[in-house]
Copies of this chain bind each other. A is one copy, B any other.
């Protein structure tokens, strides 16, 4: 059975069109409100872990390591559903955002610089103090 499961796993993972670096762009969306929370990357291992654990695990390109979302901050993302796009090269991850904050700045969503009058203007309030989130 373990062998059969491994083959199945490889199958759905193999159907993804990974980048040359073996990565996949992933859009995290709040399953309840529809808010787009962030965009990050996964490799095959992090995607398999995401499915296995039911919580979002990304691949940090800057640290070149697995990034269990919320491990430090507590802002975990419980997986609601996974949707691959028509080209098989982008994933939409619908999540329940634990604590309501996805961004390291303490905002709900990472997308908060609106282009207004030719300038990027910060919108949306800081809900949690980053110093509190990352004090550990």
Cα-based distance from A81 to B90 in the complex (angstroms): 22
Counting every copy of the chain, the complex holds 2
A115 close to B12 (CB less than 8 A) = yes
A114 close to B81 (CB less than 8 A) = yes
Cα-based distance from A110 to B115 in the complex (angstroms): 25
A113's nearest neighbour on chain B, judged by CB, is B84
- A100 lies within 8 A of chain B by Cβ: no
Cα-based distance from A113 to B24 in the complex (angstroms): 15
A115 close to B84 (CB less than 8 A) = yes
Q: List 24 A-B contacts (CB under 8 A).
A: A8-B118, A11-B118, A11-B119, A12-B118, A15-B120, A27-B27, A27-B36, A33-B34, A34-B35, A36-B36, A39-B85, A39-B90, A51-B115, A81-B114, A82-B114, A83-B111, A83-B114, A83-B115, A83-B123, A84-B120, A85-B111, A85-B113, A86-B104, A87-B110
Give chain A's interface residues, CB within 8 Å of chain B.
8-9, 11-12, 15, 25, 27, 29, 33-36, 38-39, 51, 81-88, 90, 92, 103-105, 107, 110-115, 118-120, 123
